[in-house]
Amino acid sequence: MKDFNELLSRHPRKGNKWISYGTAGFRDKLQFTHICQQIKTNAKCFRATELQHIMFRMGILATLRARVVR
């Protein structure tokens, strides 16, 4: 468990932004970042680095599910 907590600490949540969960939600945020870069504005843009903690945790969940479903 100590190793697991250490891994989690490498991918901390950044700031207090609330990001909606759901497959399309992750995809939309990344596409929205790309659009913001095209129009050269940072207003209300999510950076892919702000999703790192979510992607790490979803990877853990997917791995656990795969082991259970086998």
Check if the beta carbon of residue 50 is closer than 8 Å to that of residue 15: yes
Q: Is 52's pLDDT higher than 70?
A: yes
Residue 45 domain flag = yes
Say which residue the tokens 């950044």 belong to. 14
Which residue range forms the structural domain that includes residue 59? 19-69
Q: Count structural domains, the chain.
A: 1
User: CA end-to-end span of the chain, whole Å?
Assistant: 23
Residue 19: exposure state from Cβ atoms within 10 A (0-12, 13-18, ≥19) = middle
Alpha carbon distance 28, 23 (integer Å): 9
pLDDT at 32 exceeding the cut of 80: no
- Model confidence band, residue 16 (pLDDT cutoffs 50, 70, 90): confident
In a domain, 43, yes or no: yes
Return the pLDDT at 63: 93
- Does residue 57 form part of some domain? yes
Q: What is the mean pLDDT of residues 16-31?
A: 61
Q: Look up the pTM and report it.
A: 0.58
Q: How confident is the model at residue 35 (pLDDT cuts 50, 70, 90)?
A: low
24 belongs to a structural domain: yes
45 close to 31: Cβ distance less than 8 angstroms: no
